[in-house]
Amino acid sequence: MGPFLTLDKSAFQTFSTSEYYTISKYYHINNTPILIGEIIADLRKYPREKVSSLSKRLSVFSATNEMFDILLLQSLLGFDFVIDGRPVVTPTKITNNGVLIDRTEESSMFIRWQRGEFNDLELEYAKSYETYLSKINFEDLVSSFEKLIKKNEKIKNLDDVVKVTEIKLSSENQADQLEMLMWLVNSFIFNDDDKTKIINRWIDGNHKSIKVFSEYGFFILKALLLFFYSLLFRVIGTKTTNIIDLQYLFYLPFCYVFSSCDKDQIKLCKCLVSDYQIFVDTNELRSDINRISQWWKNLSELEKEKYSSDYGNYPPELDNSFTLKAWKRFLIPRQKGLGNRVSKMSKEEKDRTMDDILKKMKAFDT
């Protein structure tokens, strides 16, 4: 296990299956529900064999994060959670409402997909995804956003987008903050009772800042403002899938490393990463992983055994290695003694250790 890593669809599709296995050796991959949804939706345009091949990577030493809209509702209602780069994992399955993560069914679902077996609900989801994309109306989205902003704002580039976003978010006008909250709530919260509870919580607590009111809500709002300012002033493109790509960024708080090779996604991500995170271009990550893989292949069996015994899965000391840099930043320093000590034990030592473990387990049971 290594630093928590999230890949968007552009990154996920870039890697071969063998490269993905190497990534999983050095990173703890945090899958997103939107990625799983996009993979199953690929049934609408690709043969089952293609989707089956992609799904083989999903079950490789990975977890799947809770859906962002569930976390958003929880945060807006005052049930906040720690945001520090660690995934928020819960029970994945396809439902009529989208992709829901259920850990008890996740493994069996991925195994079915790998065999090319998809149930009726999953096939229906793939068909409805095409309909969903066709209904995305950028003009309507931009129109709703324009009501929030000043008409005379001049934006020429991404730096301008960041500046106006920060000014908007830091407004000390309580009415401005409430207006942004209402826009956020109306965009993602569809249950009227939940909407009422959220607004009542704001009013009853005399809140004046969304950042204080809801940490995750504030992050989602910032991502939305950056996206729509960029969209409105043509800093990013207007392709339909941009609104889908945006959802990957909603999971940014739940990883240490985020990777993409989509140029618009990269622009927005670099504006959203926190001090505890690193963004890496997928091409750089792929090059680094292949360099590490080649280093390992060049070792003799004896050298591999010794390195594993001394350092475990810790990445090698290669010049300018991104993966090594990430491990040193987020995990313990590289040092001897991190490897598999059992591999050096004699049979007698292994037997004694196992006996000791069994005795302690028995004592615990009683």
pLDDT digits (tens, 9 = 90+) for 15-61: 998 899 899 999 999 988 888 888 888 877 777 777 777 777 776 55
Tell me the C-alpha distance between 88 and 4, whole Å. 11
Higher pLDDT, 234 or 257: 257
296 touches 314 (CB < 8 A): no
C-alpha dihedral (132, 138, 140, 141), degrees to nearest 10: 90
Q: What is the pLDDT of residues 261-316, one digit of tens each?
A: 999 999 999 999 999 999 999 999 999 999 999 999 999 999 999 999 888 889 99
64 touches 42 (CB < 8 A): no
Tell me the C-alpha distance between 6 and 271, whole Å. 17
pLDDT at 95 over 70: no
Which single residue is written with the structure tokens 């889908």? 244
Q: pLDDT tier at 104 (50, 70, 90 boundaries)?
A: very low
Closest C-alpha among 327, 330, 220, 255 to residue 89: 255
Q: What is the DSSP code string of 152-221?
A: T----SHHHHHHHHHHHHT---HHHHHHHHHHHHHHH---HHHHHHHHHHHHHTT---HHHH-HHHHHHH
Q: What is the pLDDT of residue 81?
A: 85
First to last CA, the chain: 33
Centroid of chain to Cα 297: 30
Q: What is the pLDDT of residue 205?
A: 95
CA atoms within 13 A of residue 354's CA, in its CB half-sphere = 8
* Lowest-pLDDT choice from 29-33, 89-93, 249-253, 309-313: 89-93
pLDDT at 350 over 60: no
Tell me the C-alpha distance between 12 and 258, whole Å. 11
29 touches 61 (CB < 8 A): yes
Q: What is the pLDDT of residues 170-208, one digit of tens each?
A: 999 999 999 999 999 988 887 999 999 999 999 999 999
Helix (H) or strand (E) holding 33: helix 33-41
Tell me the C-alpha distance between 174 and 156, whole Å. 29
Proportion of the chain above pLDDT 70, given as a percent: 81
pLDDT at 225 over 90: yes
Q: pLDDT tier at 152 (50, 70, 90 boundaries)?
A: low
Q: What is the pLDDT of residue 92?
A: 47
pLDDT at 90 over 80: no
